[in-house]
Amino acid sequence: MFGRLYWGELRKQTSGGAIITLSVITVVLALLMAVLFTAFNDLVNGVEEDIRDSMNSESGVTVGVNFDTGAPAVSSTGQSYTQEEVLTTLNYLYAELEARELQKEEEGYDYYRGSDYIYYVKGEIAFFEYLRDNELYGVRIGVMRDGAIASGEVTAEMFVTLMRSILFLLPLIYASIAAGSTFADEFKSGTIKLVLTRPVGVNALTTAKLLAAFTHAVAAYAAMFLLLVVLGYSFFPAENVRAVFMFNNSAPTLAPSSAALGIGFTTDLIMLLSYTVIAFFVGVVTKNRVVAIITPIILVDVVGGIISLAGLGRFFISNALDWGQFVGISSTVTGGADFFISLPVWAVYMAAMLVLSYFVVKRRDAV
Amino acid sequence: MEKTPVLEVSGLKKYYKSRRGTVKAVDGISFEVRPGEVVGFLGPNGAGKTTAIKAITGLANYEGVIKIDGVDLNEDHVGALRSLGAIVENPDFYLKKSAEWNLKYLASVSDETALRKGYPKEEKLGKIIADRVEKAIARVGLTERKKSAVKTYSLGMKQRLGIAQTLITEPKLLILDEPANGLDPDGIKEIRDLIRSVAESGTGVLVSSHQLHEMQLMCDRVLIISAGKIAASMSIDELSAGEGRKLFVRSDDPAGAKKILEAKFGVEGAVVTGREVHFRTGAELSEITRELVMSGLNIYGVAEEEVSLEDVFMSKVHSRTESVPGDREAEDVR
């Protein structure tokens, strides 16, 4: 019975027009970018040397500068380090950390407010300590914390990672439409009466609608991702640099850089499903599809931004939605972000929205 | 042995909060519908008909007891709805989809036990659904247009498809809210015949409508609801008997005739229209004729009129609404 209910919801939420439109946009943009990347390959090649040259190589310190904070930052380009370079850089970073912590103590600096210098320095220390402890000298390594590794040429992984972040909006819109409309449209057209006068449990119906929306979200994103992977590996060579993934800005782990694709896929999917829950919840409460589709974006980006400015960002859902930052995939690490704070914050928001959705559907008069 | 009701409503209440206080949209109504019976549910706008129907069909919360085929709706929501087919307010569809798609979808989310009723155990569910859909479409005469999107259907076709939706699992109770709304006379007759044939197969039908003449033709019994309460409940046969016979006298002096009727037979509320006097009385026709002729009036005719449902409706509704002002708020606050 539930299977048939779920299948029915899946078919109802399928919008042929939206699928065709978004598919065409995705394919055209991905192909266009693949061609552009190929054309500009020469510009990207050799960037490793340029970056290396820009570092303070004379002193043996092999870190660049974080664009936001001015803090030291390991280049995301794949580089090999000598033992001397690692130890010199570590000493430099220890001194930086000590100086900044002293400054913080004197000025009463708020550790979690905005992008944080100390936070970044700690991440760099974790990276170089990992190299030192595992004696990873002379091995070409890139840190994944700042996104894709640029090994000095355009690679399949770089293409997929970049395009994934650009095109993510399309499955996000599709999933939001599916989730936000599923109840709202039925209320608007009156078909909710048709369904609810059948021997269908209200909770079962809500679950079927939610699972159908999840299915659409996963299918849309998986299709887009698969296309990017196929295009990426068709047009460009695979990455040959090993990557360090930093969990929660610490605890580095070495893996092939292609692991970034799997991690990116998973973290994007969690974010996508989280947005789906928000759109679903708003659709249930407001019975309005437009509000349901727009609200998640406003809630996460606008309200989230304002709350972050007030220094409460880590308690708001927008910070908690970006799982990539905790596993070294996001292009930007939010200063002070902490997995062990964001996880319960995310769980509370998601659980609250799901529980409220079920409660409202069950308790409110259907018409 | 009396048949068990397919619908038992007892002390049904639905109150709303409004800025002006609590509105008693439905105020403790009780009634039953038996198998094979067509019961008309009548009342003016805002009387509480649709609110009561929403509660009975599980679309609104309520106080009181509603049992469908003996199953309490509040205790076993899904179990009670297994025996129900309903159109509430208007028939609703997925307009971009075909009639066949709509029916298949509804069948697919219906109870498996109900779907399998009358089919061999080994029959595949998909085949049963396809067969039921075909039968339902054929029953309402939409076979030729079953593949067309519902948005291309005429109003009459939509009404018929709406009824097909309710019949897909052969429910024991059918609730139809204004099923003949917007239909031409042929369409109305079609719907009436369809409802009668459904009732003849043993389904209890509760049908609400403003078309009183149609109700009189279609129903076995009527309930009149006014200001959230049941104002009258009677069979169509009881209509005439309950209110006394309705007569008219045609004379060249209708005012004089009226005076005689009032004096000799205690008639109240007689109405003079042109050369006719219309009135109700329990007196015999021959006695009235003799009395009027002996009074010296020229009498051209004395005859019995049929008591219509409209007469009863107007008398019951107006007697209640005059005493309960503000009754119409109920619809407004929803």
Please give the full DSSP string across B34-91, using - where no structure is assigned.
-TT-EEEEE--TTSSHHHHHHHHTTSS--EEEEEETTEETTT-HHHHHTTEEEE-SS-
- Phi and psi (nearest 5°) for B59? -90, -15
Residue A220 maps to a domain? yes
A201: containing domain: 2-41+163-241+254-363
Beta-carbon neighbour count of residue A60 at 10 Å? 16
Q: Tell me: do A124 and A168 sit in the same domain.
A: no
- Residue pLDDT, tens place only, A297-326: 787 777 767 776 766 666 666 666 777 777
Q: Tell me: do A314 and A201 sit in the same domain.
A: yes
B125: containing domain: 7-239
Contact state of B57 with A12 under an 8 Å Cβ cutoff: no
Contact state of A1 with B111 under an 8 Å Cβ cutoff: yes
What does the block give as tokens for B151? 């948005």
A164 touches chain B (CB under 8 A): no
CATH code: domain of residue B288:
3.30.70.2470
| Inter-residue contact B88 to A193 (CB < 8 Å) | yes
Side-by-side strand order, sheet with A250-256: A141-143, A242-247, A250-256
Q: What average pLDDT does this structure show over A47-72? A: 57
pLDDT tops 90 at residue B57? yes
Strands B204-208 and A141-143, bridge-based pairing: unpaired
Q: Tell me: do B20 and B148 sit in the same domain.
A: yes
Task: Give the CB-side neighbour count of residue B320, counting CA atoms within 13 A.
Answer: 19
Residue that is written with structure tokens 């606050």 in the block: B333
Q: Which residues fall within 8 angstroms of residue B312, CB to CB, at 6 or more apart?
A: B224, B232, B234, B239, B242, B243
Distances (CA, A) of A182 to A115, B60, B107, B174: 39, 20, 19, 27
A197 touches chain B (CB under 8 A): yes
| Higher local confidence (pLDDT), A104 or A112 | A104
Structural domains of chain A, count: 2
Q: Tell me: do B199 and B162 sit in the same domain.
A: yes
- Residue pLDDT, tens place only, B6-34: 999 999 999 988 887 888 889 999 999 99
- Phi and psi (nearest 5°) for B176? -125, 120
Which chain A residues have a beta carbon less than 8 Å from that of B110?
198-199
Residue (of A186, A210, A196, A282) closest to B61 by Cα position = A196
Residue B167 maps to a domain? yes
A17 touches chain B (CB under 8 A): no
Contact state of B92 with A198 under an 8 Å Cβ cutoff: no
Contact state of A197 with B82 under an 8 Å Cβ cutoff: no
Q: Tell me: do A144 and A233 sit in the same domain.
A: no
B291 touches chain A (CB under 8 A): no
Side-by-side strand order, sheet with B299-305: B271-273, B276-281, B245-251, B299-305
A181 strand-pairing partners:
none
B86 touches chain A (CB under 8 A): yes
Residue B324 maps to a domain? no
Residue B323 maps to a domain? no
Q: What local confidence, expressed as pLDDT, does residue B240 receive? A: 52
Q: Tell me: do B183 and B250 sit in the same domain.
A: no
Q: Tell me: do B31 and B57 sit in the same domain.
A: yes
- DSSP 8-state assignment for residue A330: S
Contact state of B81 with A198 under an 8 Å Cβ cutoff: yes
Q: Tell me: do A51 and A143 sit in the same domain.
A: yes
Q: What local confidence, expressed as pLDDT, does residue A230 receive? A: 94
Q: Which residue in the set B59, B95, B105 is minimally distant from A366, CB to CB?
A: B59
Which chain A residues have a beta carbon less than 8 Å from that of B108?
4-5, 7-8
B149 strand-pairing partners:
B98
- DSSP 8-state assignment for residue B309: H
B248 touches chain A (CB under 8 A): no
Q: Tell me: do A207 and A151 sit in the same domain.
A: no
Residue A209 maps to a domain? yes
- Residue pLDDT, tens place only, A287-296: 998 998 888 8
Contact state of B57 with A197 under an 8 Å Cβ cutoff: yes
Query: What percentage of chain B carries pLDDT values higher than 70?
Result: 89
B98 touches chain A (CB under 8 A): no
A12 touches chain B (CB under 8 A): yes
Side-by-side strand order, sheet with B21-33: B21-33, B7-18, B63-68, B71-72
Q: Tell me: do A144 and A169 sit in the same domain.
A: no
Q: Tell me: do A112 and A234 sit in the same domain.
A: no
| Higher local confidence (pLDDT), A41 or B90 | B90
pLDDT tops 50 at residue A223? yes
| Neighbour-count burial of B14, counting CB atoms closer than 10 A to its CB (0-12 exposed, 13-18 middle, 19+ buried) | buried
Q: What local confidence, expressed as pLDDT, does residue B156 receive? A: 84
Q: Tell me: do B60 and B172 sit in the same domain.
A: yes
Helix (H) or strand (E) holding B21: strand B21-33
Residue type, B319: S
Which chain B residues have a beta carbon less than 8 Å from that of A8?
105, 108-109
Q: Which residue in the set A194, A202, A365 is minimally distant from B60, CB to CB?
A: A365
Structural domains of chain B, count: 2
Distance CA(A228)–CA(A34), nearest Å, equals: 9
| Inter-residue contact B223 to B31 (CB < 8 Å) | yes
Distances (CA, A) of A125 to A93, A248, B151: 6, 13, 66
Distance CA(B229)–CA(B234), nearest Å, equals: 15
Q: What local confidence, expressed as pLDDT, does residue B90 receive? A: 85
Confidence of residue A342 (pLDDT cuts 50, 70, 90): confident
Residue A246 maps to a domain? no
What phi-psi label fits residue B39: left (phi over 0), alpha (psi between -120 and 50 degrees) or beta?
Answer: beta
Contact state of A11 with B105 under an 8 Å Cβ cutoff: yes
A25 touches chain B (CB under 8 A): no
Residue that is written with structure tokens 């039953």 in the block: B32
A8 touches chain B (CB under 8 A): yes
Q: Tell me: do A13 and A113 sit in the same domain.
A: no
Q: Tell me: do A320 and A208 sit in the same domain.
A: yes
**Average model confidence (pLDDT) across chain A:** 80
Distance CA(A100)–CA(A94), nearest Å, equals: 10
Q: Which of A95, A123, A157 is a domain's end point? A: A157
Angle between helices B155-167 and B185-200 (to 10 degrees): 10
Which of A144-158, A351-365, B217-231, B275-289 is predicted least confidently? A144-158
| Inter-residue contact B279 to B266 (CB < 8 Å) | no
Which of A28-32, A160-164, B164-168 is predicted least confidently? A160-164
What does the block give as tokens for B77? 């929501």
Please give the full DSSP string across A222-272, using - where no structure is assigned.
HHHHHHHHHHHHHHSPPP-SEEEEEETTEEEEEEETTHHHHHHHHHHHHHH
Residue A202 maps to a domain? yes
| pTM for the predicted model, two decimal places | 0.79
Q: Which of A127, A157, A187 is a domain's end point? A: A157
What does the block give as tokens for B98? 């075909």
Q: Tell me: do A123 and A191 sit in the same domain.
A: no
pLDDT tops 50 at residue A232? yes
